[in-house]
Amino acid sequence: MKTWLPHPHNRPKLLIVDDQLTNIRVLHELFREDCDVFMATSGEQAITVCQTQLPDLILLDVVMDGVDGHEVCRRLKAAPATQDIPIIFITAKQQDTDEVLGLELGAVDFISKPINPVVVKARVRTHLTLKLQYDLLRSIALVDGLTGVANRRKFDEDISADWRQCFREQKPLSLIMADVDFFKRYNDRYGHQAGDDCLSSVAQALSKTVRRPYDLVARYGGEEFACILPKTDHSGAVEIAEKMQKHVRALGIEHSASDIDRVVTISLGVATMTPTGDLEFKVLIEAADKQLYKAKKTGRARVCSVAMSST
């Protein structure tokens, strides 16, 4: 089978769902050399695997005891985290009405049993290629073209999703807002090209401070950046903010027009809270923004923070 992804180490994730182990073994043998294959023998197990592994494609049996394939499809398409995962139904049912129902539920294809290995391989290859193209286009749309970090759209999507996740798990959510000190003066003194280079360097310094895959550094607007830290308490967020400040200062970017230093510095505001059902994530953004304003009003090049009560 052809390699679907341009990088040989990025193997597609394929989930096979069937309550008959014989069918799973046949499909596993077809794809094990080219995909990271995950398996589930029930609808509930399939949903759990999808939530934890986020496969690139699902081969889903329709007729299963308990939660059947149609219900699995409904639930996955109703959840923001899994709604974009393509699903191919594999079933012994061959009526046109069955195929129409599957497509109406959101499946991308329909394969009848007994399977033809050549047909299955061809269709899986097609849909994995389409998924790759979709992911690439989406990633481009969510990246800030100047700095290479996430853009405002990606920030808005993630903070909303992280707020809901932390609410469900009752974990703290922290937000850092950062602003380059006297950036307008920097542009006036060194020119806009140098200003663009400065923002790009600052963005990379901020990104290197966070290590977990679900933390996000984004360009919030202009010379302002934001960092979302799910499941991070207040002290942990403040520690990260202080590291960000040090990393930016360590870049040593000359800023002779600054009132506080001879190099580029940043001011940071930090807010932390455990989400509740009667509040929206905008409360956290407003709190972090107020702390950033406080940092700028009290001398800049510093971190101000608040731990918010959920009551």
> Which amino acids are annotated catalytic?
223
CB < 8 Å & 24+ apart, contacts of 159-163: 159/228, 159/281, 159/284, 159/285, 160/281, 161/80, 161/81, 162/214, 162/228, 162/230, 162/281, 163/275, 163/280, 163/281, 163/284
Q: Measure the CA–CA gap between 206 and 304, rounded to whole angstroms.
A: 17
Q: Measure the CA–CA gap between 113 and 216, rounded to whole angstroms.
A: 44
The b-or-e profile of 136-149 (16+ CB within 10 A means b, else e) is: eeeeeebbbeebeb
Are 166 and 230 spatial neighbours (Cβ–Cβ below 8 Å)? Answer: yes
Structural tokens at position 105: 């539920």
